[in-house]
Structure 1
Amino acid sequence: MTHQAPTPHRARKRFGQNFLRDPGIIDRLVRSIHPVAGDRLVEIGPGQGALTEGLLNGANALDVIELDRDLIPGLKTQFFNYPEFRVHQGDALAFDFRALAAGERLRVVGNLPYNISTPLIFKLLEVHEVVEDMHFMLQKEVVERLAARPGGGQWGRLSILAQYHCQVDHLFDVPPEAFVPRPKVDSAIVRLRPYKTSPFEATDPERLARLVKQAFSQRRKTLRNNLKPLMAGEAIEALEIDPGKRPEALTLDEYIRLTNALPEEPAHDGHA
């Protein structure tokens, strides 16, 4: 696979731009994604097209979402010979992924700036039914949180909600010298594959999200304290869960049991 020299462009701090330059890392990432003809591929933040070329060589069709208007002419010039290369100028956080899917399942790829990575993953989890898989280059700390296990400091709201909706795999790490300019932190590649049939039985995923957010509202406090607005300590004990535990000590299954035991809302709808 060849990599054309990108047009000079000064990385913009406000867009969190760090351009991937290492051909070995690019090839390894493309192999991990394994794009093939017929894939409905979407790349978020293609930048100067380092990864874009490999994706197009595999799939022949690609939608890219780029916020920086100055990069778009270069992308259109670089990939003019791909008739199914489509550029959408805009913010991925405001993008309508359901409309883009149009009945198909999207394969989403991106080297994501740190400042949008977590909110963007939450946005995509909300439309998980139109997503086949996601491959993201993220700050290593975020990948560790996504793939964390219960009991440690990394286990939290992001881990629980990602693992409720998806199989999460930390694929490999990427050193700072793979980028221009060099970021001050290590990066890593994560694969998120939404379950077609969930192995979990939460009665309402939105209630699970609300309960988990409340449980982690103050990490140092116990479940009894944090969940007080939603359920009493006795109700937690009735599920054979210790209300004296801190939120990071509970498993995903225990959070689902708590969610399923939440009182219905609104209570009685104002009737006796």
Structure 2
Amino acid sequence: MSEQHQARKRFGQNFLSDPNIIRKIIDAIRPQPGERMVEIGPGLGAMTEPLMARLGHLNVVEIDRDLIARLKAAHAPDVLTVHEGDALKFDFASIVPDGAPLRVVGNLPYNISTPILFHLADYADKVKDMTFMLQKEVVMRMVAEPGTEEYGRLSVMLQYRFNMGRLFDVPPGAFRPAPKVMSSIVRMVPRPLAECTATDYGVLGRVVTAAFGQRRKTLRNTLRDFLNEDDFAALEIDPGLRGERLGVADFVRIANYVVMRSALTEEISHFSNENLV
């Protein structure tokens, strides 16, 4: 593909151009012939072409109409399927109607990287693994451990569903135009469903969001809409701690406790109302 394309800030475009880095990323992905894979934001095809060469066929999701036209002109449909549109709204399950494991890769735009990660988490049960290039700061938050400055909502919600590892860094000079930040490659492998024990994922999300909503405040304050002093005692969690001191399993315990208590309250209320009739 011709590289005469003006990068667009509204799409967060920074095109990978260093052949050594490209080779290193492809080797880290280890694409195998016949695997079902989708690349998010193929851009000028720096990773697209070597991926196709190893896979035989590749799916890509692209929003830029100019790049879509270039991709379609450069590659036949039997080796490249171009899905036109926003990755944030794309149904990734549509690529695997037969239930085959899906592999997801891409150089994710910095400006929408977090929403895309949460969107992709909804398809974790259909995914074999995901390998992304992201802003290093975001990757450090994704893989952060409890008690560190980077640990927060993103860490907990992604680590609940994925095992993750930071592979290596990519310097700004590997892109055109060069971003002002360092990038990193991260691999995400879905955890077995048996290990994902939250009774209600939505409640888990609300608890975690509240816990990190005001990082300087203690759990006694941030979770006051969910837990009282007796609840903290029952959970054996110190209400004087801050959210970053709790591990993923602790948040799951809290969320499951909240769901259980709510169900018990409803049962008692229903029983009392029946007796009043």
TM-score, structure 1 as length reference: 0.94
CA displacement at 1:201 relative to structure 2 = 2.6
Query: Which of 60, 65, 72 is the aligned partner of 2:61?
Result: 65
Secondary structure class of the residue paired with 2:125: helix
> Is 1:165–1:198's contact at 8 Å kept on the other side of the alignment?
no
Match of 2:205 among 209, 231, 241: 209
Q: CA deviation at 1:233?
A: 2.7
| Counterpart Cα distance in 2 of 1:200 and 1:109 | 23
Is there any run of 5+ residues in structure 1 with no aligned partner, and where? Answer: none
1:123 alignment partner, one of 105, 109, 119: 119
- Other-structure match for 1:7: 3
Matched residue SS, 2:262: coil
Q: Which moved more, 1:245-254 or 1:260-269?
A: 260-269
Shift of 1:105: 2.0
After the TM superposition, which residues 1-272 of structure 1 pair with which residues of structure 2 at under 5 Å, given as runs?
A: 6-80=2-76, 83-102=78-97, 103-262=99-258, 263-264=261-262, 267-268=265-266, 271=270, 272=272
Q: CA deviation at 1:234?
A: 2.3
Q: How far is the alpha carbon of 1:253 from its aligned partner?
A: 1.6
Amino acid in the other structure paired with 2:114: T
Give, in whole Å, the separation in 2 of the partners of 1:45 and 1:198: 32
Cα deviation code 1:123-145 (max 9, x no counterpart): 11122111111111000000000
1:247, CA displacement in angstroms? 0.5
Equivalent-residue separation in structure 2 for 1:268 and 1:139 (angstroms): 45
Paired residues, number: 267
Give deviations 1:5-47, integer Å, cap 9, x for gaps: 6330000011110000000110110011111112110000000
Higher mean C-alpha displacement, 202-211 vs 224-233? 202-211
One-letter amino acid matched to 1:30: I
- Structure 2 unaligned spans of 5+: 273-277
Equivalent-residue separation in structure 2 for 1:41 and 1:116 (angstroms): 21
- Partner secondary structure for residue 245 of structure 1: coil
The letter for the 2-side match of 1:69 is R
C-alpha RMSD of matched pairs (Å): 1.6
Kindly provide the amino acid, as one letter, of the partner of residue 268 in structure 1.
E
Partner SS, residue 95 of structure 1: coil
Counterpart residue type for residue 262 of structure 2 = E
Q: Is the partner of 1:261 in helix, strand or coil?
A: helix
Rg (Cα) greater in structure: 2
Q: Is the 8 A contact 1:165 1:195 kept in 2?
A: yes
Which secondary structure does the structure 2 equivalent of 1:135 belong to?
strand
Aligned counterparts of 1:113 and 1:200: Cα–Cα separation in 2: 28
Question: What do residues 187-217 of structure 1 show as CA deviations (whole Å, max 9, x unaligned)?
Answer: 0000000023443432222221121111111
Q: After alignment, is 125-134 or 14-23 more displaced?
A: 125-134
Q: Distance in 2 between matches of 1:49 and 1:172?
A: 21
Matched-pair contact (CA < 8 Å) for 2:52–2:79: no
Between Structure 1 and Structure 2, the one with more helix by share is: 2
Aligned AA (2:59): D
Match for 2:162: what amino acid?
C
Tell me by how many angstroms 1:251 deviates: 1.1
Do the aligned partners of 1:224 and 1:244 also contact (CA within 8 Å) in 2?
A: yes
- Partner amino acid, structure 1, of 2:26: V
Superposed CA deviations along residues 41-80 of structure 1, whole A, max 9, x for unmatched, are: 0000000000001111111111100010011121123223
